Amino acid sequence: MYQTSDIKKGLKIEENGAPYTVVDFLFVKPGKGCAFTRTKLKNLITGSVLDRTYKSGESLVEADVEEHTMQYLYNDGTDFHFMNMEDFSQIGISAETIGNTSDFLVEEMEVQVLFYNNQPVNIDVPNFVELAIEYTEPGIKGNTSQGATKSATLTTGAEVQVPLFLEQGEILKIDTRTRQYVSRVR
Amino acid sequence: MSAVGLRRRATVLAALRSWFAERGFLEVPTPARVPSPAMEEHLHGLPAGDAWLRTSPEFALKRVLAMGLPRIYEIGPCFRAEESGPWHGTEFLMLEWYRVGAPLCALVEDVESLVQACAAALDVSPPTWTHWTVAEAFLTLAKVDLATATVTTLRGHDDDTWDEAFFRCFLDHVEPNLPPATFLRDWPVSQAALATIRTDGHPRAERFEAYLNGVELANAFHELVDATEQRSRFETANRERIGMGFAPHPVDEGLIQAVGQMPPTSGIALGVERLVAALCGWDSIHPGRVSSPAP
């Protein structure tokens, strides 16, 4: 249990059965009223932000969360399997838990896996990955017109929008947070 | 703490003192070490030997009013335990002034005029004030009718008292959305503290608060002058303190005697460092203060 006086940025707490981290907090006290701590909390699973005001003296439940560096091994058709880089234990994580970054996973990629109550709840893939184009319509040489894009399927199955001049087989740098093409890797 | 910040504070202090001098107020420094730090259940004093550091100069200034001085003010340090943050310091600079025989609205005019004088001294534009009752602010900003409000309609938690739910709603929905400069008058009776209570219509405390840029700047009372009622409020606050697990405050007999001898008076307390910060557009009081080395 934490007290309101323990609140600081980065504190991991449980609220409505979900793990949150404190991203901001402020001590507030009306001159004639009791003290409160106003917080901005980020849900560690969904990333959504919650405003929560705690009364002075209220207790906060500590969230049982741990983060481990794990290596992606393979997909068995249902689950994605990862190995803990510290104790080499392996676990399978469903595509649903991984969310929309599962199609950026390549073998041996290191990711951060968040465990809540010993269950994997979220994974963070690197912000940038380099992947080859598996299929795209033939490129139009010299067409560098601003903003014009076409769809490209990458070797992992991810579909992204790329500029018209790119060809099959070329390697791209992709921002996994926005799913946007960043540059061509030479 | 910054050189610019300290100059701004000095400018405001000089403007305040000349504002009071022009209106015939007497500056009365009173002791910082006092027999009782406060009456209210939510104020926590710092012990100083066998006495306390004051949380406000109110009790001593009321003894001065009982002597027959009609217009007095004090600017000095006050101390509140367990308060620190961007807008709070355990030690802070408080301004209090009293007008014997004046209605509460005279202090509204004082705040407007005094803030204008400080803004002029700092060469910043003065604020334009909005005048609301607390009920109007709740209705407008939180869509809550205070006359019929319950812990649930105030969006309080199950274990909140009505006052706690009131402040939770106030802090979450009202205070962050107040117009830049706002007077809020007519507070719930349970938050009267040392104010008189009006019983025409829905009962309410004759109290107002001034907010500047979302920050509570000042609190004013039409002062309670009934010694029996004063003693009973002291005892109620102490029962609430004990219920919350805090030690009771010593009952200040000098204050109770003074309250019984005081003429009808309006009085107000204003956070000087908050005034400086709000007028200068800072996001905390601290640029205008000398930081205290860690103990």
Q: How far is CA A104 from the centre of its chain?
A: 12
- In this prediction, residue B294 carries a pLDDT of 62
What is the tens place of the pLDDT at every residue in B217-274?
A: 999 999 989 999 999 988 999 998 898 888 899 999 999 999 999 999 999 999 999 9
Contact B40 A38 (CB under 8 A): no
E strands along A44-145, which residues?
A: 49-55, 59-62, 65-75, 79-84, 90-94, 110-116, 119-124, 128-136
Beta bridge partners, A18, equal A15
Whole-model pTM: value is 0.79
- In this prediction, residue B133 carries a pLDDT of 95
Whether residue B295 is predicted with pLDDT greater than 60 in this model: the reply is no
Q: Are strands B130-133 and B181-187 parallel, antiparallel or unpaired?
A: parallel
Kindly state the average pLDDT of the residues A168-179.
Answer: 91
Specify the CATH class of B3-127+226-289 in words.
Answer: alpha beta
| Per-residue pLDDT band at B191 (split at 50, 70, 90) | confident
Q: Does A10 lie at the interface with B, CB-CB under 8 angstroms?
A: no
Q: What is d(CA B208, CA A150) in angstroms, rounded to the nearest whole number? A: 63
Sequence-distant (6+) residues with CB within 8 A of A131 are: A104, A106, A154, A155, A156, A158, A171, A172, A174
Q: Note which residues in 60-119 of chain A have CB less than 8 A from chain B.
A: none
Kindly state the average pLDDT of the residues B56-73.
Answer: 95
- In this prediction, residue B139 carries a pLDDT of 96
Q: How many beta-carbon pairs under 8 angstroms link A with B?
A: 58
How high does pLDDT run on average in chain B? 93
Whether residue A15 is predicted with pLDDT greater than 80 in this model: the reply is yes
What is the tens place of the pLDDT at every residue in A79-136?
A: 999 999 999 999 999 988 888 888 899 999 999 999 999 999 989 999 999 999 999 9
- In this prediction, residue B193 carries a pLDDT of 81
Angle (CA) A94 A99 A12, round 5°:
95
Start-end of H helices in B97-141: 104-122, 134-137
Share of chain B above pLDDT 70, in %: 99
Residue A26 contacts residue A8 (beta carbons within 8 Å): no
Q: Does A38 lie at the interface with B, CB-CB under 8 angstroms?
A: yes
Residue A93 contacts residue A124 (beta carbons within 8 Å): no
- In this prediction, residue A145 carries a pLDDT of 61
Whether residue A141 is predicted with pLDDT greater than 80 in this model: the reply is no
Chain B residues touching A31 at Cβ < 8 A: 209, 216, 219, 269
| Domain boundary assignment for chain B | 3-127+226-289
- In this prediction, residue A144 carries a pLDDT of 62
Cβ neighbourhood burial of B167 (10 Å; 0-12, 13-18, 19+) = buried
Whether residue B151 is predicted with pLDDT greater than 80 in this model: the reply is yes
| Per-residue pLDDT band at A143 (split at 50, 70, 90) | low
Residue A28 contacts residue A35 (beta carbons within 8 Å): yes
